[in-house]
Every structure is written in C-alpha cells, then in structure tokens.
C-alpha cells in the first residue's frame, strides 16, 4: 500500500460523542504512526438534522482532543456535482439504471418477498427497461444476482454475504441527491482513502460499498470494523450511562490526554499497559491489537486514569485549563507566581481539574470560611497558645521558606512538649478552613508570610470571640 490515508466522517446532527471520538482517534493514530494522512469529512446530506452548531461542536471537540486533520474539512453538500458525475459513469458502464417504481410499489415488492420466505428487497422491475432520465426516477445500482461478496476485515476476519440476499439499492434519489452508501464510496475514492476504520454498526453497509468499488474498477480499501462502546449494563452507550459528549468531559475537568488514553483502551491493548502518553500511543498503535469484544465505558475507571494523568502532568501544563475552573469561582490567577506550586501541591490529590480548583480556593481567597465541624474540633481555647506562638515565630523569621517553617514547628514542639499534630491541625484549619490539605509546611510556603500571619491572627480572634 502507498501512503496510508484514513478519514473521520461525522454527521453534524449533534455533539461529538465518545464512540465517535474513539473512531476518530483510531484513524488518527494509525495515520500518525505510519506517517500517513488523516482526512476530516462532514457528512451533512441530512439537511433537516444537520446544523452549523453541530459542525462547530465537532471541530471544538477534535481540537480539544488534539486530533488535527491533514485535509478538509470536506462537506458532502458541496460535492453534488462529483456525485452526479459518478452516477453517470455507472449508468454508462451498465452498472446502474433508472427506476420509476413508486415507494408504494417497492414496499409491495418487499412484502411479497417476505411472504414467500425471502429477504425484503426490490424485485428488479426496471432493471432491463433502459429507462431515460425523467421526473420522479431514481437511479439504482445493478447488483450481482449470484455469488458472494466477501468483506476481508482486519478486525473481524472474513465475512461472506450472499449476493442473492442483496438488492439493487438506490444510489441517487429522484431529486438527484446521493444516498449514503454511494456518497461515501465516491468520497473515499476521490479523496484517496485506502484505510477505513469504523464502528461495526457499518458492517451491513459494507457489501454494497464493496460492489460499488468493483463497479468503479478501483482497489478496495483496507477495512477494520471495531466493536461498539457499551455502557456498564452492556447496552449501547447513551445519556443514561452518563455524559456521552466529549466536551462534557472537558467541562467536568478531564484532561484530553486522559480521555484519549481511556478511549483507545476500549478495544485496543498493548500487553497489560494501561497508562499511555499521546506519543506512546502514536508509536505503538496498530490494527492487529484491536479486539473483537465490545468496550465497556466505565466513568470510575476514566476518573482514576484522569487522576493518573493529572499527577503525571507538569504543573505548567495544567495552568491554562485550571484557570477557567477557578475563574468560574471568581478567582483570577493570571500572573500569580504561585500557581504552579499550588498545582504541584494538589496534583496527587485531585481526580479532576474541577476538583483541583475547589481544593485550590483557600490558597487565593481573601477570607477563609471555616468548616463548622473542623472549627469546633480544632479552633479551641487550647489552640490559642500554640497559634499565638507560631504567629510570633513566623513574623520573626529572617528567611521565610518551607524549610524555615518546618524548623519553627519542630522548635515549638520541643519547647512546649505538645505533639506536632496538636499544633498542625489547628494551623491547618486556620489556613485552609478544613482538616485536609497538602502538607502544612508546603502550604504555608505557598500562601506566603503575610497571608499566613493574617489567617493565624483571624483564627486567634475567632477562638477568643467564641470563648467570650
């Protein structure tokens, strides 16, 4: 095979869902690994349901995932002249004919075929009439009446279709618009697509498409039909299983590299490895390791993998996406020199960026709101002395750093005989408002001396007021 050319042809009738994203990913990875070409084609011939908003949403999702395309986007609605030209080619070569049977007549043919135990199909009434072009006429493909059509599939193996069970399907409607199976074959031929990786719901379309390729006298592409993505109940993935839109996961705080990693593992494997970087996927992806079993989408596993990717990411990588989540909460971190240190302190504790933003609020807040139970338990009269002593020591430090702060704590423990936890927990609540946070020395260094002193003094006043 010459240069590998793959394609992703979404219909713009809604958002890009995770099943479609996986199909795009498989085609993109295969093209990237083999230094091939990845084409984006918008199949918008369903004009009643196709919208520009859906087109824009597909672009937005692909760009967020980082699935760039080398050609396109092509739009089927702008290619009708090409389809008409190819219809004419089949008419002239004897591989197609015009048909004036009405939809009602065709339905009667199908009912009669079923009544006699056959497949519901068109009976070929107009096959040999050689009808001229006329109003209301459709164009049908003259399918072979005997023999078999074989789909050689790199995932599923060979699948054999008996030609006598197929019918002379319509390739051009009475208004001149192409049907799905005809348009995609013409597109793939004229765009040089030679590798088609798609969901196995397209298997039943493939024998018709193979017959069209042969009628045009062009080589067949490599076909790989991958199993569908199912919900945990083994039903086809739908909204009742959770979000199915790619951008919904972005908005929930997932990283694109985590979603890509998870989607590729829904049907493909490389030994027992679960965690992959984008570059590793490009280097390792192949068609041989695509499995035949359906992938089961599990949000909990995706979240666990997202946590791993957050933990592995350089803090600088997370600044831009985290900024948006904090902005939603009224926090502007642009230009704040502490941001990367904040991220580093929270990356091992965050499953999503939205969760990280929630945990990061105390770093940037002007005032701390105490969790009621945490304040009741730790901001007590017994905490007054250690908090006051810590404030005095912090204020007197010549070199304010994490190491210096740690030294202050150990000095207080040695002087007072109080266990470290008895000092650290009231301080943690004073600084963050809650009982769980990153390491106390680390957060004190990040928050900064002035804010630490302000929060310690506020906590002292809170205890005094409560006692009073």
pLDDT 10s digits, 259-315: 999 999 999 999 999 999 999 999 999 999 999 999 899 999 999 999 999 999 999
CATH number, span 372-467: 1.10.10.350
CA angle at residue 400 from 396 to 405, to 5 degrees?
85
Convert the pLDDT of each residue in 183-242 to its tens digit: 999 999 999 999 999 999 999 999 999 999 999 999 999 999 999 998 888 888 776 666
Convert the pLDDT of each residue in 81-101 to its tens digit: 999 999 999 999 999 999 999
Nearest to 177 by CA among 87, 72, 279: 87
Report CA-CA distances (Å) from 244 to 22, 230, 238, 299: 12, 11, 7, 10
Which residues, in sequence order, are bridge partners of residue 236?
A: 230
CATH number, span 5-75+229-300: 3.40.50.620
Binned at pLDDT 50, 70 and 90, residue 70 comes out as very high
Distance CA 262, CA 105 (A): 49
The CATH class given to the 79-226 domain equals: alpha beta
- Mean pLDDT, rounded, for 125-148: 95
Q: What is the pLDDT of residue 242?
A: 63
Strand pairing class (195-199; 222-226): parallel
Token code pair at residue 178: 């192409």
Which residues, in sequence order, are bridge partners of residue 198?
A: 225
Q: What is the pLDDT of residue 239?
A: 66
Give every CB contact of residue 217 below 8 A, 6+ residues apart in sequence: none
Q: What are residue 364's phi and psi, to 5 degrees? A: -105, -15
Distance CA 133, CA 72 (A): 33
Q: Cβ distance 350 to 310 under 8 Å?
A: yes
Which residues are the active-site residues? 239
Nearest to 258 by CA among 312, 217, 210: 312
Residue-averaged pLDDT of the chain:
95
């Amino acid at each position: 095979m010459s240069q590998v050319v793959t394609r992703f042809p979404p219909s713009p009738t809604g958002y890009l869902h995770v099943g479609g994203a996986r199909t795009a990913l498989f085609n993109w990875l295969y093209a990237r690994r083999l230094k091939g070409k990845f084409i984006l084609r918008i199949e918008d011939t369903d004009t009643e349901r196709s919208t520009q908003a859906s087109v824009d949403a597909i672009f937005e999702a692909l760009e967020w995932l980082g699935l760039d395309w080398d050609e396109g986007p092509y739009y089927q609605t702008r290619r009708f002249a090409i389809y008409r030209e190819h219809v004419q080619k089949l008419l002239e070569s004897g591989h197609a004919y015009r048909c004036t049977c009405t939809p009602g007549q065709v339905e009667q043919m199908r009912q009669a075929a079923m009544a006699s135990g056959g497949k519901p199909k068109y009976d070929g009434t107009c096959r040999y009439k050689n009808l001229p072009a006329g109003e209301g006429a459709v164009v049908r493909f003259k399918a072979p009446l005997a023999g078999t059509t074989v789909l050689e599939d790199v995932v599923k193996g060979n699948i054999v279709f008996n030609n006598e069970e197929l019918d002379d399907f319509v390739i051009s409607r009475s208004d001149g618009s192409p049907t799905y199976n005809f348009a995609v074959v013409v597109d793939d031929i004229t765009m040089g697509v030679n590798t088609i990786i798609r969901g196995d719901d397209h298997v039943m379309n493939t024998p018709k498409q193979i017959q069209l390729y042969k009628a045009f006298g062009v080589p067949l592409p490599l076909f790989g039909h991958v199993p569908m993505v199912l919900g945990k109940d083994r039903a086809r993935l739908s909204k009742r299983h959770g979000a199915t839109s790619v951008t919904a996961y972005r908005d929930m705080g997932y990283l694109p590299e985590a979603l890509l990693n998870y989607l590729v593992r829904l049907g493909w494997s490389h030994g027992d490895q679960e965690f992959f970087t984008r570059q590793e996927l490009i280097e390792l992806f192949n068609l041989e390791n695509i499995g035949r079993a359906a992938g089961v989408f599990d949000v909990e596993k995706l979240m666990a993998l997202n946590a791993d990717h957050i933990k592995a990411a350089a803090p600088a990588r997370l600044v831009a996406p985290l900024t948006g989540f904090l902005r939603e909460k009224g926090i502007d971190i642009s230009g704040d020199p502490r941001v990367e240190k904040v991220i580093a302190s929270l990356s091992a504790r965050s499953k999503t960026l939205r969760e990280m933003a929630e945990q990061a609020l105390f770093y940037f807040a002007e005032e701390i709101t105490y969790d009621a139970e945490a304040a009741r338990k730790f901001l007590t009269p017994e905490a007054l002395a250690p908090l006051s002593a810590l404030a005095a020591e912090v204020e007197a430090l010549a070199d304010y750093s994490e190491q210096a702060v740690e030294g202050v704590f150990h000095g207080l423990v040695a002087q007072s005989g109080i266990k470290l936890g008895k000092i650290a927990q009231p301080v943690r609540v004073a600084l963050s408002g809650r009982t769980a946070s990153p390491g106390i020395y680390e957060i004190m260094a990040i928050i900064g001396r002035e804010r630490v002193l302000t929060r310690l003094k506020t906590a002292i006043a809170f205890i005094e007021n409560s006692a009073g």
